Structure 1
Amino acid sequence: MKFHTATLTAALLMGTSAFAGEITIYTSYEEDEAAAFLDLARAALPDVEMNMLRLSTGDLAARIIAEKGNPQHDVIWGFAASTIVNPEIEKTLEPYAPKGVEGIPAAFRSDEDKWFAVTGYMAAFCVNNERLKDKGLEMPTSWADLTDPAFKGEVVMPNPASSGTGYIQISSLLQMMGEDEGWALLDKLDENVAQYIKSGSKPCHAASAGEYVVGASYDMRAIKNIAEGYPITMVIPSEGSGNELEANALVATSDNKEDAKRFLDWTVTPEAATAYGKWKAIVTMPGGEKPQQFLDAGLPQDTSDVLHPTDFTAAAEDRTAIIEEWQNRYEN
């Protein structure tokens, strides 16, 4: 009798596993952020098997476009708003308004419910205090400061062709200053750049390790590295910080839309918002306080005071032209 009971139990378990939901998630969240958020989502939805592919913004965009005839994913999560509005990507999406999405201001959502953004990030410099002192340099406060010949070979930046952080840095400078002045500043800046790195976080890591004085990166990477004890200062450029929203969306061809929708519903829950607040400087959902370590690192309580009002549609429409111009100027 025990044998039959055990056999029946095993059969039921196998059946449960066989009929469990399964979704594939494409994301550009940083690896540590994505892992932390995904652990919470799996705990909240234990009957849904979640597979995740994490790539940088440019690489993930290329993959989505290459697969547009036969998408291999169900959900886009934490993906640059300036890229998700690319028509080749947006047409793969199906409108969906998760439960609770009305708590997110309309400015952070697609008019057609094709996507909604719950988090974001902004440009920031990671400045190595020890190397800065050794080189006899003044603490930079702006992009313009980084064009000083004294910083030659001491600046590293993300490559805008592969990094969403890198692209929004370049795009926002051009929006702030206009084409002529913006490219002129970038020309001067290029003379001081030691290398352009594929990732948005690695320039901060390189500066944190003392390899360079300045790593042009983004807010949370600087905050995390400061918390980990690296001798760096976070500098938010005085011209205004270019910023990016990170969007979520439902893929139209998903074979498991019910579980994909349940996942998207979870991304706007109070539990998710609390988790975002521990990792992200910009959270579009109401409520929550910034952790003290964010403030101690130099992040303003109200980030709207330092953000440049990025035009994401223009950033998307101009992306190809900007990247081609950037590559022609600085990669040839």
Structure 2
Amino acid sequence: MKTITKMKSLGWALAISATCSAQAASELTVYTAFEAEDLKRYAAEFNKQNPDIKINWVRDSTGIVTAKLLAEKDNPQADAVWGLAATSLLVLKAEDMLQPYRPKGLEKLSPKFYDKDETPSWVGMDAWMASICFNTIEAEKHNLPKPTSWADLTKPVYQGHVIMPNPSSSGTGFLDVSSWLQMFGEDQGWAYMDKLHNNISRYTHSGSKPCKLAASGETAIGISFAFRGAKLKNKGAPLELIFPSEGIGWDMEAAAIIKGAKNTVAAKKLMDFAVSEEANRAYNKGFAVVAIPGLAQPVKHFPENPESLMIDNDFEWAAKNRAAILKEWQGRYDSKSEPKK
């Protein structure tokens, strides 16, 4: 009788252990810089195909997420990244922190939206692009003309009326800085930013915040990204989205598996979903350019052909020089940055 009781107890213990293991296997820790309000929507789309996997999000701005991942290199806490700048993932790849994986359906993506290795270390999802959020009411109040170029923003009339993101903490800020250095050349790029700095009232630690501040009337001009501007304009904000004539910087939101991940099985399912048509349609709700060619529908308030405005961005160069660019930027301009929380 005691033996039977022991066997039953052992059976219950094994059942409980198996249940706990199953539960643990369904937990996926995902680091992201997705906009906070989109997390539930993306998780819901993923769970339609993978109802047994719960995503535990760790969300912050691009620079902070990238720094966190680098700090955890020897003891990775993330299983996967879903929604981080491709330039950041190239930095992680250089540190041998990504687990190569070829997701199902990769062949449907535009070749510029995934790593060029035979087994890619990362895949792109959508492109987000720079834009100027221009508050027409505040501009009229301060007699500010509508800018049409990046060069216009250096004119004395805009002094104290421009806010932009800090590139150390914001992916949008970094794509601005790296694109100016590519468009104008390094010497002229820094000279441009010196002039622009004279007109900056402050640098934020969020890429969307300058546009939000413009929408609320706290500034006339916010250098931000088009998706945020379009969303706020749809809600009735007195904004005009301006795409500067010299061209616009852009980056890809991308996904990858972290080497040493505790749950690679679920991470691979996430990667399969990240390149799927269902996921690309979800991305298209906010982004006019997605990884699968021909799938995107026009996004309200975006130009008809946004890809024609995007510069030929050298992601490898931007990633390789990221640390040096940020060090130089901080030495020149960080005095106007908002305090970090």
Alignment TM-score, normalising by the size of structure 1: 0.91
Within the candidate set 277, 296, 301, 2:284 is matched to: 277
Within the candidate set 231, 237, 240, 1:230 is matched to: 237
Q: How does 1:109-124 map to 2 (within 5 A)?
A: 109-112=114-117, 113-124=120-131
Q: Does 1:310 align with 2:317?
A: no
Structure 1 portions without partners, runs of 5+? 1-10
In the TM superposition, residue 87 of structure 1 has moved relative to its aligned partner by 4.8
CA contact (8 A) 1:64 1:89 kept: no
**Aligned residue number for residue 22 of structure 2:** 19
Question: Mean alpha-carbon deviation: is it higher for 197-206 or for 275-284?
Answer: 275-284
**Alpha-carbon distance between aligned partners in 1 of 2:95 and 2:230, rounded to the nearest angstrom:** 32
CA contact (8 A) 1:219 1:281 kept: no
CA contact (8 A) 2:34 2:59 kept: yes
Partner of 2:68, secondary structure, is: helix
Partner of 2:163, secondary structure, is: strand
Partner of 1:211, secondary structure, is: coil
Within the candidate set 70, 74, 77, 1:69 is matched to: 74
Amino acid at match of 2:277: P
CA contact (8 A) 2:123 2:275 kept: no
**Alpha-carbon distance between aligned partners in 1 of 2:329 and 2:284, rounded to the nearest angstrom:** 34
**Alpha-carbon distance between aligned partners in 2 of 1:14 and 1:235, rounded to the nearest angstrom:** 57
**Aligned residue number for residue 326 of structure 1:** 329
**Alpha-carbon distance between aligned partners in 2 of 1:125 and 1:23, rounded to the nearest angstrom:** 36
Percentage identity across aligned positions? 40
**Alpha-carbon distance between aligned partners in 2 of 1:39 and 1:89, rounded to the nearest angstrom:** 32
**Alpha-carbon distance between aligned partners in 2 of 1:168 and 1:34, rounded to the nearest angstrom:** 23
In the TM superposition, residue 42 of structure 1 has moved relative to its aligned partner by 2.2
Q: How does 1:1-332 map to 2 (within 5 A)?
A: 18-20=21-23, 21-87=26-92, 90-112=95-117, 113-291=120-298, 294-295=299-300, 297=301, 299-332=302-335
Q: Give per-residue Cα distances to partners, 1:283-309, cap 9 Å, x unaligned.
A: 111333424xx34x1x22322210111
Structure 2 portions without partners, runs of 5+? 1-13, 336-341
Question: Mean alpha-carbon deviation: is it higher for 67-76 or for 274-283?
Answer: 274-283
In the TM superposition, residue 15 of structure 1 has moved relative to its aligned partner by 6.1
CA contact (8 A) 1:160 1:167 kept: yes
In the TM superposition, residue 142 of structure 1 has moved relative to its aligned partner by 1.1
Partner of 2:196, secondary structure, is: helix
Amino acid at match of 2:308: D
CA contact (8 A) 2:288 2:296 kept: no
**Alpha-carbon distance between aligned partners in 2 of 1:14 and 1:303, rounded to the nearest angstrom:** 53
In the TM superposition, residue 17 of structure 1 has moved relative to its aligned partner by 6.5
In the TM superposition, residue 33 of structure 1 has moved relative to its aligned partner by 2.5
Number of aligned residues: 318
**Aligned residue number for residue 7 of structure 1:** none
CA contact (8 A) 1:84 1:90 kept: no
**Aligned residue number for residue 8 of structure 1:** none
Q: Give per-residue Cα distances to partners, 1:26-72, cap 9 Å, x unaligned.
A: 11111123332112112321111211111111101111011000101
In the TM superposition, residue 311 of structure 1 has moved relative to its aligned partner by 0.4
In the TM superposition, residue 14 of structure 1 has moved relative to its aligned partner by 9.8
Amino acid at match of 2:276: T
CA contact (8 A) 2:165 2:173 kept: yes
CA 1:12–1:47 in 2, change beyond 3 Å: closer, same or farther? farther
CA 1:270–1:17 in 2, change beyond 3 Å: closer, same or farther? farther
Partner of 1:249, secondary structure, is: strand
**Alpha-carbon distance between aligned partners in 2 of 1:322 and 1:133, rounded to the nearest angstrom:** 36
